[in-house]
């Protein structure tokens, strides 16, 4: 197994630009903290709107969750649907958020086309197969809700799912044809280049060590620079530290593993996902898979708490994929990596407003590429003067989760129960 680079995406991405750390005194209209999708999208859209933008990344562009996901572009929510969101947030705010999500993949692929970003993008669709009768009923209802908004969604029978995926056992499902796949690190590199071409300044190895309100807005310090900005956007997301008190305790940090095999023979590739879609099924311990441009098979999963997860979990995920896809001769692992996702109890993205002129965007709940790109566009609107109440994403002051030190482990601790419930509900011929 290849140990370095850390992920398949970093190993196969378009070359990264070499960016220096920030030095000396710098003045900007907007400071963006975090060089992932949300930060890069914010920087691009705010610069195109005429602002002087500085982006500071503590490591390098696409270091965090941006470079550690599966490369799925999914324009919906993981656990909630339009009707429930409108009921929870109200027709106006809920409708705004649902519309943002519905068009989030449109935004991603428009940016790719407009800025000629080479990132192995395929707008091939996202499939969610159903593992149980209850999940199948929900798939039909999800198609009803999203199609009412004019979205290109379609209900799938069991035979249709088998034809599209090449795998047996699911009871049916649905597809959103506006989704797709890409190399997330290449996409991030392309967003960074587009932002810089528009006039943004991006600095790497520039961790912000302090953030202080001043008469002109905010003053941020790194080891080698002082940045003065009228407004600040923090989009470190699941990699939040204590720069903004309470922010890191406002969500659950979920550790997720991803693996990629050595390339599969074309004969097998022709059977599995011949249309190039990506798949994430309806189970609590969901099963995902897709191919990259070199026919490597990619999947991921969570882990049960315990020692040795970094060595143990990738092998477990590899075995599960072999069973699910009926591939006893599945090629060995070539890459394995992990990252953190931010999950809110509501499973909805959120803006945090700690102080005037300071805002943070967090928790896209496993829909990172599409949702954080769209979040960046919303944050750029705020930076140019749109009131936070008018944005599509709900906003609130920091609200740390009670007993966070204990509750942050709940998703992993409860995984065995989720796996047991999945097995009870699933057909006997559906892999585990």
State the Cα–Cα distance between residues 75 and 14, nearest whole angstrom.
25
Instruction: Please check whether residue 264 lies inside any domain of the structure.
Output: yes
- Cα separations in angstroms, 195 against 62, 217, 326: 14, 23, 44
Burial of 322 (0-12, 13-18, 19+ CB in 10 A): middle
Provide the pLDDT for residue 402.
66
- CB within 8 A of 108, min separation 6: which ones? 73, 182, 187, 369, 370, 373
Q: Report how far Cα 124 is from the mean position of its chain's Cα atoms.
A: 18
Whether 27 has a pLDDT exceeding 60, the answer reads: yes
Tokens of 354: 């700690």
pLDDT, tens only, 319-377: 999 999 999 999 999 999 998 888 877 878 999 999 999 999 986 767 789 999 999 99
Residue 153 lies in a domain: yes
Kindly state the tokens that stand for 263: 């390339």
pLDDT at residue 420 is higher than 70: no
Q: Binning pLDDT at 50, 70 and 90, where does residue 232 land?
A: very high
> Is position 18 within any domain?
yes
Q: In sequence order, which residues have a C-beta less than 8 Å from that of residue 214 and are 6 or more positions away? A: 228
In a domain, 429, yes or no: no
What's the domain range around 299? 8-401
In DSSP terms, 225 is beta-bridged to 24
Is residue 314 pLDDT above 70, yes or no?
yes
Q: Considering only CA atoms, which of 170, 96, 161 is closest in space to residue 132?
A: 170
Nearest to 431 by CA among 289, 302, 234, 332: 289
414 part of a folded domain: no
Radius of gyration of the chain (CA): 21
Quick check: 431 and 324 in contact, CB under 8 A? yes
For residue 419, being part of any structural domain is answered with no
- Whole-number Å distance between alpha carbons of 363 and 80: 14
- Measure the CA–CA gap between 63 and 48, rounded to whole angstroms: 24
Q: What is the CATH number of the domain that holds 388?
A: 3.50.50.60
| pLDDT value, residue 400 | 76
Percent of the chain topping pLDDT 90: 75
Domain annotation covers residue 420: no
Q: Which of the residue ranges 6-20, 93-107, 235-249, 392-406 has the most confident prediction, judged by mean pLDDT?
A: 93-107
Whether pLDDT at 406 is above 60:
no
Which pLDDT score is estimated for 414?
56
The pTM assigned to this predicted structure is 0.94
Three-state secondary structure call for residue 321:
helix
Integer Cα distance of 330 and 317 in angstroms: 12
- Note whether residue 243 is domain-resident: yes
For the chain, how far is it from start to end, CA to CA, in angstroms? 24
What does the pLDDT look like over 146-198, one tens digit per residue? 999 999 999 999 999 999 999 999 999 999 999 999 999 999 999 999 999 99
Q: What does pLDDT average to over the chain?
A: 91
For residue 71, which of 2, 124, 111 has the smallest C-alpha distance? 124
pLDDT at 364: 73
Integer Cα distance of 129 and 227 in angstroms: 48
Number of folded domains in the chain? Answer: 1
- Is residue 207 within 8 A of residue 220, CB to CB? The reply is no
């Amino acid at each position: 197994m290849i140990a370095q680079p850390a992920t398949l995406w970093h190993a196969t991405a378009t070359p990264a630009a070499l960016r220096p750390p920030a030095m000396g005194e710098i003045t900007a209209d907007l400071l963006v903290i975090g060089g992932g999708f949300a930060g890069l999208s914010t920087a691009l859209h705010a610069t195109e709107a005429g602002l002087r933008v500085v982006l500071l990344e503590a490591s390098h562009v696409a270091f965090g969750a941006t470079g550690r996901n599966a490369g799925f572009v999914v324009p919906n929510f993981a656990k909630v649907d339009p009707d429930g969101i409108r009921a929870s947030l109200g027709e106006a705010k809920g409708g705004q958020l649902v519309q943002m999500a519905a068009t989030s993949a449109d935004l991603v692929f428009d940016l790719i086309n407009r800025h000629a970003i080479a990132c192995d993008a395929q707008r091939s669709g996202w499939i969610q197969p159903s593992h149980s009768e209850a999940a199948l009923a929900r798939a039909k209802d999800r198609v009803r809700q999203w199609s009412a908004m004019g979205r290109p969604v379609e209900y799938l029978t069991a035979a249709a799912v088998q034809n599209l995926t090449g795998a047996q056992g699911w009871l049916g499902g649905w597809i959103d044809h506006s989704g797709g796949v890409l190399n997330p690190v290449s996409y991030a590199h392309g967003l960074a280049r587009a932002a810089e071409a528009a006039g943004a300044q991006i600095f790497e190895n520039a961790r912000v060590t302090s953030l202080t309100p001043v008469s002109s807005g905010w003053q941020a310090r790194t080891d080698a620079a002082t940045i003065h900005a009228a407004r600040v956007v923090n989009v470190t997301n699941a990699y939040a530290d204590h720069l903004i008190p309470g922010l890191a305790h406002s969500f659950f940090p979920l550790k997720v593993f991803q693996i990629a095999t050595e390339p599969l023979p074309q004969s097998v590739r022709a059977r599995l996902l011949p249309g190039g879609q990506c798949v994430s099924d309806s189970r609590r311990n969901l099963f995902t898979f897709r191919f990259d441009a070199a026919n490597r098979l990619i999947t991921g999963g969570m882990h049960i708490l315990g020692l040795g997860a970094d060595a143990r979990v990738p092998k477990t995920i590899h075995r599960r994929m072999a069973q699910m896809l009926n591939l006893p001769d599945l090629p060995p692992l070539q890459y394995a990596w992990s990252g953190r996702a931010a999950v809110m109890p509501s499973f909805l993205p959120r803006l945090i407003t700690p102080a005037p002129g300071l805002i943070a965007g967090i928790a896209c709940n496993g829909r990172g590429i599409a949702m954080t790109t769209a979040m960046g566009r919303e944050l750029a609107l705020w930076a140019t003067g749109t009131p936070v109440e008018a944005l599509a994403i709900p906003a609130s002051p920091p609200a740390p989760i009670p007993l966070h030190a204990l509750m942050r482990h709940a998703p992993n601790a409860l995984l065995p129960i989720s796996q047991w419930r999945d097995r009870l509900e699933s057909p006997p011929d559906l892999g585990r």
